[in-house]
Amino acid sequence: MVTTLDIISLVLIAVVVLVVIGVAAAAVGIYNRFFSLKNSAEATVGQVKVAMKKRLDMIEQLLGAVKSYAAFEKETLTGVTEMRARIGSAGPGDLNELERESRSVLGRLLAVAENYPDLKTSQTVQNLMGAVQGVEDEIARHRYTYNNIAQQYNTMTDTVPSNLIAGVMGFKKLEYLEFGEEIERVPTIAF
């Protein structure tokens, strides 16, 4: 015969089982959210790398257009080639440095173009300058997206209860793409 105590025990066991299942489901959901954000961040860093490679390709094309008008340093071309090679294995911190370097090269290249009036009117140079502006906008959009994803991920590592999962699983905060104020300004490329 089933007693009241047996019924209460079964109900308590059922409640405990449901609570354990609920906690486990929440933990799995939080864990999956971390990986969803991590994968989104990695994909966005990949897009930033592609855009930075496009920028370096355009810088090389501009160098080709400019060298017929001015003797431009050979080391600039070597530097651009070296930067392109480094982009593939770059993390967010490395991308910050590569961004600074490529902006510097672009700035020097634009200064050379400014000194040659015939170069300013070259359709090739004008087309490349327009393309560079498009890539600058693309890099800015991807950087914004990445930093928003990193902010969500980092907030999860700081707030309860997701910080418990982060601590147990060893999840570390994501680095932001901070390209520095002095180089956040888009280079002036209009003639």
The pLDDT of 67-96, averaged and rounded, is 72
Q: Are the beta carbons of 174 and 147 closer than 8 angstroms?
A: no
pLDDT of residue 182: 43
Ramachandran quadrant class, 180 (left: phi over 0; alpha: psi -120 to 50; beta: rest): left
- The rounded distance, in Å, linking the Cα atoms of 95 and 70 is 30
Q: Tell me: pLDDT of 81 over 90.
A: no
The pLDDT of 56-80, averaged and rounded, is 69
Q: Comparing 67 with 177, which gets the higher pLDDT?
A: 177
Largest CA distance in the chain: 103
What pTM does this model have?
0.67
- CA 76 from centre of chain: 25
Query: Which percentage of the chain shows pLDDT scores above 90?
Result: 36
Q: Which CATH superfamily is domain 4-33+48-169 in?
A: LemA-like domain (1.20.1440.20)
pLDDT of residue 40: 93
